[in-house]
Structure 1
Amino acid sequence: MAFKFLLLVGLFFVVDGVIAQESVKQSRQESPWAWACRTGRGCVKVAKDSPVEEGDNLDNPTLAGCKLTCNGESTLWPKPRSIISLSKTLISFHPTDIRISRISAPTPKVKSLTNEAIQVLRSVIRKSIPNTQRGRNQTTKETQRPQINIQISIVSGDDRLEMTTDESYNLHVETIFATAATPNSPRSTTSVSITATSFFGARHGIETLSQIMAWDDTLGTMIMLTDVNISDSPAFVHRGLLVDTSRNYVSVPVIKKIIDAMSYDKLNVFHWHLTDTHSFPFVSTREPRLSLYGAYSPAKVYRPEDIKELVHYATVRGVKIVPEFDAPAHVGSGWEWGERAGMGQLALCVNKEPWTTYCVEPPCGILNPVNDNIYSVLSNIYQDMRDLFVSDIFHMGGDEVNFACWNETTEIIDWLKTQGRTEKSKEDFLYLWTYFQNRSLAEVDKAYDNKQPIVLWTSGLTEDGHADKYLDKNRYIIQIWTTGTDESIAQLYRQGFKLIMSNYDAWYFDCGYGQWVGDGPNNWCAPYIGWQKVYENSPRKLIVNFNETFNSRQILGGEAAIWSEQVDSTTIEGKLWPRSSALAERLWTDPDTTWRVAEHRFNHHRERLVQRGIQADALQPEWCHHNDGYCFL
């Protein structure tokens, strides 16, 4: 086996040239280990002098080389929906060998976004190189270095990511090796072509390109596949994460890291739950008293310039930020100024005890729908959000409305009487809630000057099969947070509502931690949800399990949610990743295969996330990454 290994390494060096040879010369002691691509397993660590097992392939015997070439999907995550061909051969290169030969874009804005996306690619490549190896001089003469020429062609001038945006792309890589080395010619030329209808598809192609590249520790150089042909597009248009920044503040730099990681997974929606009863960190230009009264501190706010920066940052990375202003419940901190300003009670039962009577968690608070001043304040909030966010949908929250507070408020009971509602029944309060929803919707439409789609959570307005009584299926998208077996999913589907899945039994990432309102060992939605369950939760299968025919126009996709009672800037990344990557492949590829088939690539992708600076939780001992297929139970 030793002779075979040296022969293969020699062939590898002939292709890859001087960089690989010099890195070996500089190595103090040659490793006794290699990696074999083993049939039915994957990459397995083997001793160079051990007998060759049947089915072993040592064509690319380094760990990085084996990972790139061993499996049919290489190390790509999420798996493309159509891989036409991936080579089993590699070239080595230095980041300076990459040249952008042409960007064809219909508008200056799209060309500018594409140039920024290329800079992100260069940054990602730099992150993959160990600090000790960055900036090392290359000894190969510049004219003999390999050339990697990238061409990008985009058809559409759209620079906004919308639900109708075409995110497909084609990636073609072809390498031609010099037949004879000459002093003035490169040893190889690699042509990379990315074609897409939209910038967002092209950006996904750039991300895929970054994943057919890797740093090889053994060779001391970057390597990449020589030839690739991929035609790819997502299974679902809405592939998101919900991040709550009210219960605990999450800093702008950490939000940027979350968006970075989303881009590595081709997730495209950052659902921003900006405010809640606990704090009001959103700085409203038109209603500045909300954050003045409601933020935890002046340092824990999101100013207009922060939001504009984040929106652009996300757009470059193929992500749109969808703001949520939750109402009429989930309000409290920040609304106390109403009476002081002579506007009456804008929010009721703020901090009222016992909280278990009036809300699902402390502190309580709910808007006062019969105070007309509330609608002028909401109008100003909506206008501020219109000015700052670039989104084709708006999330109005609308869940967990507890009627106890309204039932005890004289002002509300008197108003209901004027409407002929005297029983103080559930139907009376649903009538009041619908009145609020319609009036606030009118303010959203006024602010945005259109009738764009509105997202609401499943709630008392959508249960018991009566959603179409209160809500227009042509205006409202319903986001499901109940369990995946809840019959209301089938009812809403049959009524024709478009749905976004976030069933908490599979996609709530705050589940399984200790109780924070008592001394119990588990919080309300325990147990902890492992990546395997995240991966297996298919929106398509959820619908089929209700004996319904799946309609992709109705099931827009899904989101994982991280509610921040027990999360802040220091802990959020590990709770989101790598589980969000499992969500990403489910929503991009929607494979019929199980998590077991994906485990090799998933374990490797976690390593790649860490390499790129994401504090993703460990999945297994590193030994398992070095020995694919041996860590199953």
Structure 2
Amino acid sequence: MITSKACYFQFIVSFTICFVCIGGSLYKFRCNSGKCTRQHSNFTSGTERYFDTLNECRLLCGEYSSLWPIPTKELRLGDQTVEIHPNSISFNYTDGSDEVRGFLNQTQEIFLDNLFKECGPRCVHSTVVPLHITIKLDSNDLSLTWATNESYVLHVASDNNKTEVTLTASNVFGARHGLETLSQLMVAKNYADGNCLLVLAEARISDSPKFAHRGFLLDTARNYISTKAILRQLDGMASIKMNVLHWHITDSQSFPLELVSYPQVTKQGAYSEDESYSQADVRNIFQYAKQRGIRVILEFDAPAHAGNGWQWAPSANLGNIAVCINEQPWRQLCIEPPCGQFNPANENLYKVLDKVYSDFAQLIPAEEILHMGGDEVFFGCWNATEEIVDYLSKQGKGRGASDFLDLWAEFQSKVLELWDRARNSQIPSPTVLWSSHLTDPSVIEKYLPKDRYIIQTWVEKNADLPKKLLKKGYRLIISTKNAWYFDHGFWGVTTYYNWRKVYNNKILNSSLILGGEACTWTEFIDEHSLDSRTWPRLAAVGERLWADPTMDATKAEGRFYRQRDRLIKRGLSPEAVTPFWCEQNEGECR
């Protein structure tokens, strides 16, 4: 005989199973003053509009819906939705070259793949309303540089029979951004027989970025990061319209890049044969990135940060190409172990680098630049190297800071000439250097012409270096050290910067500022922790550099949580930033 308690338990279990099987929820959600809050399903009012899911509420709640980053120009959004299925979407872009149509075909595939991820594994609910997308481009230009026009205009209109989307852009990259925005105007809808998508029935958006350089630095030399993990970062970057992957690919710890001219550099410099990047790997990453509207800027750091991989030179009768390699005590010879710097006193260095820069020139697309590093040169290493001291002495120089600055500038001038020769371009392209002693406002004009060098500053927010360099007419990329260094908070006396601190970091606004970069240095990060250390904080940088909003992070909470949800659906593993109760009750956990 079943007791009353057992009978009650059986009823609850049966009810729960049935409730789950039809996609139900204990809660519904309502929009209150632009924020979504939850309400128990048993206590909803018949006079208010309630939504079945939090994401559905976010789509129709607030000035910016769930868009990330926010559009910068016109934004008009309807308050009704239409059910669609990814299979009911069709495209029209008959104009354009074969190469442009090929690019758009791949963009279409990525767009649809992202919609199926949003819809979920049960994306089988049938709908009858088709969605038709017409793409119109002003140009067949496929070059992606700081001068590329990334603007777009998106128009969504619906009637009882269909939804029409018109996307107008200057080029394929603006069109790509527009499709990214369109995907964010959709949300999964759950039914007993499966899922479909809801799309806003009406929308008009005109949009373009505030900054041309919206970057993310990834260090793959301290710890090796697999190509699979790098591609995953590019997927995340595409979702927030970031357009530069700054790839710090070599350092004193390892040289994992395959060189055609000197394969022994990789053999001695990579952690293992499996932990290196072939030329094909790098080209694949360049292509994968460009298809997502992202440039890849390789950094070959020099003359410091050059150690492992260069030990072979003496046995090849080339002398010491690099000095202080792995020497101790390291604190007297470099900023962090292991030590290693190029040896400007050895003329064979430039003969070797001539071929190395040619390798880079063959690898990097014609319109792309090279980041030349150039930070943290440690004069103690050169001062402890007899042949360098002798070299300076023969030039009538001593061992003071200005003498080593002159040597450093001599090296920089010679390698820039090597790079120009390798590029063989009629118009020499600019290159990028980190801020350093060489870029100090008191000496920079002596050593670095402003038409050739862009300076990437990595100083604290309140430092006056960027303003001083701007006054002298130098172009800048800003990496605010005490807000956008994502390795901070896990070593030494550094501080972790939460997403609100990251979001609220405004950079200077000047025609000479190309934009900014967040940086993930990997001394204490590998590919298993890469996602959680980088995401979703990088999304906060993405909105700052695309829209440079005047509002602070407290006004962006719901949209930020929704963007984190998108990242998860697209295969990333971002860290949690708040209890889920706080997500369901926006504004209650400050």
Q: Which digits, 9 at most, give the CA deviation of each residue in 1:218-251, with x for residues without a partner?
A: 6732111011100000000000000000010000
Within 2, Cα distance between the matches of 1:57 and 1:120? 37
Distance 1:460 1:349 in 2: 20
Tell me what 2:92 maps to.
101
CA 1:245–1:605: 2 relative to 1, 3 Å: same
Q: CA deviation at 1:129?
A: 2.7
Equivalent of residue 209 in structure 2, options 234, 237, 250:
234
Match of 2:584 in 1: 626
Residues 257/394 of structure 1: CA separation in 2 closer, same or farther (3 Å cut): same
* Aligned amino acid, residue 418 of structure 2: E
Return the alpha-carbon distance in structure 2 between the equivalents of residues 493 and 270 of structure 1. 24
Q: Deviations over 1:368-387 (max 9, x none)?
A: 01211111222222222222
Partner of 1:534: 502
Aligned to 1:195: 168
How far residue 103 of structure 1 moved from its aligned partner, in angstroms, is 4.4
Q: Deviations over 1:167-210 (max 9, x none)?
A: 00111111111xxxxxxxxxx21111111112111110010011
Shift of 1:59: 5.8
Aligned to 1:146: 129
Residue 351 to residue 152, structure 1, CA distance change in 2 (3 Å):
same
Aligned partner letter, 2:392: L
Indicate conservation of the 8 Å contact 2:125/2:191, yes or no: no
Aligned counterparts, 1:67-82, within 5 A: 67-82=58-73
C-alpha distance in 2, partners of 1:226/1:404?
66
1:631, distance to aligned residue in structure 2 (A): 1.8
Q: Which amino acid aligns with 1:93?
A: I
CA contact (8 A) 2:28 2:51 kept: no
Following TM superposition, by how much is the alpha carbon of 1:485 offset from its aligned partner in structure 2, in angstroms?
Answer: 1.8
- 1:177-256 alignment runs, 5 A limit: 177=160, 188-217=161-190, 220-256=195-231
CA distance in 2, matches of 1:447, 1:600: 49
The aligned residue for residue 10 of structure 2 is: none
CA distance in 2, matches of 1:257, 1:486: 34
Equivalent residue for 2:429, pick from 427, 452, 460 = 452
Return the letter of the residue paired with 1:622. Answer: F
Amino acid at match of 2:166: S
Q: Which residue of 2 aligns with 1:590?
A: 548
Q: CA deviation at 1:153?
A: 1.3
1:91 aligns with 2:82: yes
Q: In the alignment, is the contact (CA less than 8 A) between 2:235 and 2:570 conserved in 1?
A: no
Can you list the C-alpha shifts for 1:114-171, whole angstroms capped at 9, x where unaligned?
A: 111110011101112332x14x363x6xxxx211001111122221210000000111
What is the aligned counterpart of 1:418 among 384, 389, 394? 394
> Is there any run of 5+ residues in structure 2 with no aligned partner, and where?
1-17
SS at match of 2:403: helix
**Structure 1 CA distance, aligned partners of 2:92 and 2:485?**
44
Tell me the distance in 1 between the aligned counterparts of 2:541 and 2:339.
Answer: 32
Contact persistence 2:535–2:574 (CA under 8 A): yes
Q: What's the counterpart of residue 544 of structure 1?
A: none
Which residue of 2 is the match for residue 112 of structure 1?
102
Contact 1:393–1:453 under 8 Å retained in 2: yes
2:438 partner SS: coil
Tell me, yes or no, if the aligned pair for 2:236 and 2:567 is still in contact at 8 Å: yes
Structure 1: gaps (5+ residues): 1-23, 178-187, 516-522, 541-549
Moved more, 42-51 or 69-78: 42-51
**Contact 2:33-2:62 within 8 A present in 1 as well:** no
Which letter maps to 2:468? Q
Deviates more, 1:469-478 or 1:483-492: 483-492
Quick check: 1:62–1:218 contact (8 Å CA) kept in 2? no
Query: How far apart, in 1, do the equivalents of 2:479 and 2:199 lie?
Result: 37
> Quick check: 1:616 aligned with 2:584?
no
- Which residue type is aligned with residue 247 of structure 1? R
Which residue in 2 is equivalent to 1:557? 515
Hey, what does 1:282 align to over in structure 2?
Answer: 257
Partner of 1:9: none
Separation of aligned partners in 1, 2:44 and 2:485: 48
Q: Which residue number in structure 2 is paired with residue 50 of structure 1?
A: 43
CA 1:417–1:93 in 2, change beyond 3 Å: closer, same or farther? same
Q: 1:539 is paired with a residue of what secondary structure?
A: coil
Contact 1:274 1:282 in 2 (8 A): yes
Partner deviation per Cα, 1:311-357 (whole Å, 9 max, x = no partner): 11000000010000000000100000000101010000101110001
Give the partner amino acid of 2:406: Y
TM-score using structure 1 length:
0.87
Structure 2 CA distance, aligned partners of 1:357 and 1:328? 17
Question: Whole-Å Cα distance in 1 between the matches of residues 125 and 464 of structure 2?
Answer: 64
Secondary structure of the 1:275 match is coil
Q: Is the 8 A contact 1:465 1:491 kept in 2?
A: no
1:51 is displaced (CA, Å) by 6.0
Name the structure 2 match of 1:443. 418
Q: How does 1:2-401 map to 2 (within 5 A)?
A: 27-28=21-22, 30-39=24-33, 42-50=35-43, 52=45, 57-58=48-49, 60-105=51-96, 107-131=97-121, 133-134=122-123, 136=124, 138=126, 145-177=128-160, 188-217=161-190, 220-390=195-365, 391-401=367-377
Distance of 2:314 and 2:23 partners within structure 1: 76
Equivalent pairs, count:
568
> 1:64 offset after TM fit, Å?
2.9
RMSD of aligned alpha carbons: 1.8
Cα deviation, residue 464, structure 1: 5.0
Separation of aligned partners in 2, 1:412 and 1:320: 38
Verify: 1:487 aligned to 2:464, yes or no. Answer: yes
Look up the equivalent residue of 2:460 and give its one-letter code: T
Q: Is the 8 A contact 1:128 1:215 kept in 2?
A: yes
Q: Deviations over 1:381-404 (max 9, x none)?
A: 222222222253220000000111
How much does 1:49 deviate?
Answer: 4.1
Q: Distance in 1 between matches of 2:112 and 2:306?
A: 43
Q: Aligned with 2:163: secondary structure?
A: strand
Once structures 1 and 2 are overlaid, which stretch shifts more, 590-599 or 388-397? 388-397
CA distance in 2 between partners of 1:385 and 1:156 (Å):
30
